[in-house]
Amino acid sequence: MDHELDPHELRSKGYRLTPQRLAILKVLQEGGHLSPVEVYERALQRLPGLTEATVYRTLEFLAEQGLALVAHVGNGKLVYETAQHRHHHLVCSACGFTAEIDHAVLHSLYEHFQASTGFKIDTSHVVFFGRCPGCCESEN
């Protein structure tokens, strides 16, 4: 289910809403699938003096709190984005093309797993790897 990003969720959980956390959340809100370095570069413009180590720690913290999503998109690369809407990714393992798929497409699969196994999936993000139409066509 989609939800509005509310940085004040941190306060309601007893955590401080620091300037660093707020700057990084705002960068994630701007959209995109950003590497930690890209988040750092953009957040540094908002908050001079911010360190790269702080960005890495904060991204991990925000992901633990459900305010950021982290995805492994192949080749050992991690990207972060806002957790405002639940979605998943299709990633071409040949060219790296990435497409988003809405969670609604997988919702029935999540329900099927729970009904048939009793296992409740708590992962809110899945990445599927394969070949995009362009790469499939060039293989023929």
What are the DSSP calls for 40-91, one per residue?
HHHHHHHSTT--HHHHHHHHHHHHHTTSEEEEE-STT-EEEEE-SS-EEEEE
pLDDT digits (tens, 9 = 90+) for 58-83: 999 998 888 888 877 767 788 887 77
Q: Residues near 92 by Cβ (< 8 Å), separated by ≥ 6?
A: 98, 129, 130, 131, 132, 134, 135
**Does the structural domain 86-140 have CATH classification 3.40.190.10?**
no
Q: Quick: pLDDT tens for 12-70.
A: 778 888 899 999 999 998 877 889 999 999 999 999 999 999 999 999 999 888 888 88
Statement: 1-85 belongs to CATH 1.10.3720.10: no
